[in-house]
Amino acid sequence: MKDLILRNRYTLLIVTLVVYMSVLVAEGMVTGREVRAIEFENPYFDMNFNELEKFRERRSNDDDDDIRARFDDAGDV
Amino acid sequence: MDKFAVLQFYGLLKREVLEHKNLFIGAPTVVALLILVATTWVATQIDQNQLAEGLRYVSILFDGLSPFDMAPFFMLVAIPFYLTLYVCSVIYLINTLYQDRKEMSILFWQSMPVSNFQTVLSKIVAIVLVAPIFYVLIIFAMYLIAMVWLTILGISNDVDLVGIGWMFLAAIASLVLIYISAFVTSLWLLPSIGWLLLFSAFAKKTPLLWAGGVFILVGFLEDFVFGTQYLANWVASRTSDPNQYLIFEFQSVFERIFNYDTLFGIVVGSILIAGAVFMRRFTD
């Protein structure tokens, strides 16, 4: 096992990154870590990066509705 | 730890300082000079009466107040030094192990009675504990010059600088805060330190590109393989708020060091640092 990990620099890098990612993912799953989105407070406008995700979902739903509506309008082909 | 090991480690630290004088001493000196020149220029642009009034106000502001309570005021002056320290640290960490292999001095150091672990540890200690000492000493020199200059200005404008002693004490107390803050920030960012050292030891060319490129790639891989974004979430949660690691009062030092996030960061950073130590085996 040790020989395999230390065979060359690439195997060592991959093993290190796998261990690193595994620890992070395991810890994230256990603690249910969520991103602390950046909120930029100022007197001129509101900006919250959490809202971008909602916007994307809403946009995606709207697009689906548009496609469905266009398909219905086309009738039988 | 025996005396020989301490001397060995001292020698390694001395080597780091001597080889990187520009990052440890040159860069903060330039920043201090720029701040002094800018302040002098601003003072020459202000009307003499307004300047005298400003001096009187600043002097009264600090008079009789606890230096430890007023120390955070001086943290603002330290911001350019913090930024310089971060930039210099990134340059240092990404180049240090790479440079050893590039100029083949790694062969010399590996023939010496020092282990790879000691060498990598000396580089971490140099950036976490030693570099902030130089920065704090240079800020102290800047404060001394500024205090002498303020006193001369006060005397020449016939202003009674009653609180200048208190101001100087607050400035001295702030130096302790600045050092502790730099140390806590380094512990908080230990995963970043480990990441940069790992790729400094790994890359045959352009280590910074490798470090940045693999970081992005690993984020995408996690999304593809596990369908999660814990890596991105983790990085975002550690970088979005400087209040997590900057210290503005002495009471919060203990809780900043001994909290779950900092300790978990030290564990993750240690994995990457261990990778960098083992990577030193490959000298080509």
pLDDT of residue B207: 94
Q: Is B51 within a domain?
A: yes
Residues contacting residue B92 through CB under 8 Å, at least 6 positions apart: B20, B23, B123, B126, B127
- What percent of chain B has a predicted confidence (pLDDT) above 90? 52
At A41, is the pLDDT very low, low, confident or very high (cuts 50, 70, 90)? Answer: low
The answer to whether the CB atoms of B228 and A23 lie below 8 A apart is no
Higher pLDDT, A32 or B92: B92
The answer to whether the CB atoms of A20 and B226 lie below 8 A apart is no
Kindly state the average pLDDT of the residues B258-263. 88
Query: Chain A partners of B278 at a C-beta cutoff of 8 Å?
Result: 6, 12, 16
Residue B96 clears pLDDT 60, i.e. is over it: yes
The alpha carbon of residue B117 is apart from the nearest alpha carbon of chain A, in Å, by 16
Instruction: Give the number of domains in chain B.
Output: 1
Chain A interface, Cβ < 8 Å to B: 6, 8-9, 12-13, 15-17, 19-21, 23-25, 27-29, 33-38
Determine the residue type at A62: D
Q: Is B206 within a domain?
A: yes
pLDDT of residue B71: 84
Interface test mutation site (partner B, options A9, A10, A22, A53, max chain B beta carbons within 10 A):
A9
Residue B69 clears pLDDT 60, i.e. is over it: yes
Cα separation, B280 vs B284, whole angstroms: 10
pLDDT of residue B203: 93
pLDDT of residue A34: 62
The answer to whether the CB atoms of A23 and B240 lie below 8 A apart is no
The answer to whether the CB atoms of A12 and B267 lie below 8 A apart is no
A47 beta partners: A40
**Domains of chain A, residue spans:** 2-76
Range of the domain at B143: 3-279
Kindly state the average pLDDT of the residues A42-68. 61
ipTM surpasses cut 0.90: no
Q: Is B145 within a domain?
A: yes
A48 beta partners: A39
Tokens of B152: 């001369």
Where are the strands (E) in B151-266, listed by range? none
Q: Is B133 within a domain?
A: yes
Interface test mutation site (partner A, options B229, B230, B235, B283, max chain A beta carbons within 10 A):
B230
The alpha carbon of residue A33 is apart from the nearest alpha carbon of chain B, in Å, by 7
pTM for the whole thing?
0.82
Cα separation, B199 vs B188, whole angstroms: 19
Q: What is the mean pLDDT of chain B?
A: 89
pLDDT of residue A71: 67
Kindly state the average pLDDT of the residues B206-230. 87
- Quickly tell me which residue has 């995700």 as its tokens: A53
Tokens of B81: 């030094």
Q: Is B284 within a domain?
A: no
Residues contacting residue B270 through CB under 8 Å, at least 6 positions apart: B190, B194
- What percent of chain A has a predicted confidence (pLDDT) above 90? 16
pLDDT of residue B248: 76
pLDDT of residue B144: 94
Residue A77 clears pLDDT 60, i.e. is over it: no
Distances in Å between the alpha carbon of A27 and those of A14, B161, B187, B265? 20, 56, 19, 11
At A37, is the pLDDT very low, low, confident or very high (cuts 50, 70, 90)? Answer: very low
Higher pLDDT, B85 or B226: B85
